[in-house]
Structure 1
């Protein structure tokens, strides 16, 4: 395809087929389900699970930290798995496993009573009665935490496949200039999942028991699998992708072939050792390490923050959390902004993405004033966390697509997995550290910068979160200062 033809196709985009957006819609719903499943625990542990099993903040912090470790390691394997199995089968395996893992949480109470008493035939209600009659609470804590850790392990193994598969699918179905926008749309599923969670999960748990919240939400993944099975195929083979739409999707092929030293992509597999030879890999991994933990902290700990600092239960916190994640939906703009820089300012996709990411990196600095102004109203930190969340999701949509900018399609899932591993390690540090810090601050009534007790702990973590994005951007820019696609992998 010539450059002129590419421009013509771009200008007549409205006349093209739009099946690629149907695939993007599937990715959106998969990501929504992904985040719903991981949010069930954070919205039920404080009011429903902790009283039953006598958990502390540290117990919950251990579970979330280990989930982050499992998720991080699994991402490395999941990326390789998706590249090996290819997109269709890889995604089916991933969502099937994580849906099983989500449902497994519901049976941790029955398993706890079974292990401690030898009676495995009790239902949900019967197991609660048995657990409440056990005097050795330390044993209940130990067994229940271990069982939830196992359920989180299965969930993490499956959920790790979502983003490598989704990013690979986006690279298959969208040209480079549109990938950030497409990614921001499917990545908005994370926000919608987080948005739907507080207005559904606590009420399901309150009406039917916390166990049913895991089962009902977990079952959604099995429904999605049916749609994916019948709707997805490679664009070049898909009967619903027109010749014109396929040409639009593949418009980058000509431009890439003009790069000096370009080598046509082969179907050979890429080893991990090869991936680590490139600065582009390290730049992506460091950016993920510095920023993923911020999102996970807000996702896992905001309900606990509203409970600990403002005394809200999970149903009272539903409206503030709903508003918070509504604000986060502004992240869709984050996918549009690089396209504006490319189309209107003449930048290449990588330059446009990095310019956009620098802009987004400044918004989390507002977290520095979330706690200081929180005494006025809880709405101030809620709005600030929402803005920081929108900035993160905008950043995330763009950092993911830098992989497609730089690497051949055969390596995208693997590189995404490497970055996910780094992000998971960062998430582990912040989740484990937060649990330990919050218990210490609460127990010692710690004083820091005018704050006392657990509020001091939250102020410290908010401050760390605020500066992570600028730090990540500066290191990424120093490692890869300009557009440098990999042509020899």
Structure 2
């Protein structure tokens, strides 16, 4: 199967879209969590508290070691084919990132809540990732697995670039208010009442202002990305249909 021929199959597009929607979530959490802890809670990356939070977060993600086992359990209990069992397992894992919707609101009570939630979402991602890679070997002949996996990796890289680049632009916009003297501040209502000259007020979203509002928006995107990816994958390849090359 040639590189271009791979794009003739819905199975390729299903895998690529699933990677496009979800790889960026993992890389967003990897790249931006230290900045989030600093921006929202004021802990620099080299502080003992920040390092403890990051350590706990990654310790939680190691729960994903059980993620690859679930499809086998489903197959043994239901007799499903491998693809159907993996899709069911991926649907289960797709619900866990929805907890990210509560990361920012609960973070108002303690910084431990968003860290634990991000850890759970990270574990769910790794479990999802282990299974989405396996859908390629379920459907494609051995000679095409590397090609299709590479296409999916490319799609995931594009998605990762877009969410990380977009997040940086959003955070800059959200908190990038500038006083007349060029000082960057997060505009408050008190400053507005005093008639301070500014270029752009802090963005507000769902009760949050400035960078926290920007983080909340991205958390919402990360929360629903897996369900969107799963629905599109299921629509493109509703049933197990291995490709046979003639």
Fold conserved between structures, TM > 0.5? yes
**Structure 1, residues 170-196: CA drift from partner, whole Å, max 9, x if none?**
xxxxxxxxxxxxxxxxxxxxxxxxxxx
Superposed CA deviations along residues 116-163 of structure 1, whole A, max 9, x for unmatched, are xxxxxxxxxxxxxxxxxxxxxxxxxxxxxxxxxxxxxxxxxxxxxxxx
Q: Which residue of 2 aligns with 1:383?
A: 116
Counterpart in 1 of 2:192? none
2:13 and 2:46 map into 1 onto residues whose CA distance is 42
Give the superposition deviation at 1:398.
Answer: 0.2
> Structure 1 CA distance, aligned partners of 2:106 and 2:125?
22
Greater mean deviation of Cα atoms: 355-364 or 408-417: 408-417
In structure 2, the partner of 1:319 is 52
Q: What is the SS of the residue equivalent to 2:104?
A: coil
Aligned equivalent of 2:217 = 460
- Structure 1 distance, partners of 2:78, 2:69, is 13
User: In the alignment, what sits opposite 1:337?
Assistant: 70
For 1:440, the equivalent position in structure 2 comes to 173
> Aligned partners of 2:5 and 2:210: how far apart in 1?
48
Q: Which residue does 2:139 correspond to in 1? A: 406
How many Å apart are 1:411 and its aligned residue? Answer: 1.2
Q: Distance in 2 between matches of 1:468 and 1:285?
A: 14
RCO higher in structure (CA 8 A, sep ≥6): 2
What do residues 273-307 of structure 1 show as CA deviations (whole Å, max 9, x unaligned)?
Answer: 11111110000001011111101100110011111
What is the aligned partner in structure 1 of residue 17 from structure 2? Answer: 286
1:385 Cα offset (Å): 0.2
4+ residue runs of structure 1 moved beyond 3 angstroms?
none
Distance 1:313 1:379 in 2: 16
- Any unmatched runs of 5+ in structure 2? 178-201
Cα distance in 1 for residues equivalent to 2:145 and 2:58 = 29
Residue 239 of structure 2: aligned partner: 482
Quote the offset at 1:386 in angstroms: 0.4
Q: Secondary structure at the match of 1:370?
A: helix
Q: Secondary structure of the equivalent of 2:8?
A: coil
Instruction: Work out which of the residue numbers 285, 292, 296 in structure 1 matches 2:27.
Output: 296
Is the helix fraction higher in 1 or 2? 1
CA drift of 1:349 comes to: 0.6
Give, in whole Å, the separation in 1 of the partners of 2:42 and 2:61.
24
Higher gyration radius (CA): 1
Distance in 1 of aligned mates of 2:226 and 2:162: 16
Deviations 1:297-356 (A, max 9, x none): 001100111111111122321111111111111111210000101122211110110000
* Distance in 2 between residues matched to 1:347 and 1:315, nearest whole Å: 49
Partners of 2:240 and 2:55 in 1: how far apart?
A: 39
CA distance in 2, matches of 1:483, 1:473: 15
Distance 1:303 1:414 in 2: 35
For residue 28 of structure 1, what is the aligned residue in structure 2? none
TM, length-normalised to structure 2: 0.87
Q: Using structure 1 for the length normalisation, give the TM-score.
A: 0.44
For 2:160, the equivalent position in structure 1 comes to: 427
- Aligned-residue RMSD, C-alpha: 0.9
Whole-Å Cα distance in 2 between the matches of residues 456 and 344 of structure 1? 44
Aligned counterpart in structure 1 of residue 40 of structure 2, from 309, 315, 319: 309
Q: Is 1:395 paired with 2:152?
A: no
Count of residues paired in the alignment:
220
SS of 1:313 mapped into structure 2 = coil
What is the CA–CA distance in structure 2 between the aligned matches of 1:458 and 1:344, rounded to whole Å? 41
What is the distance in 1 between the residues matched to 2:78 and 2:92? 16
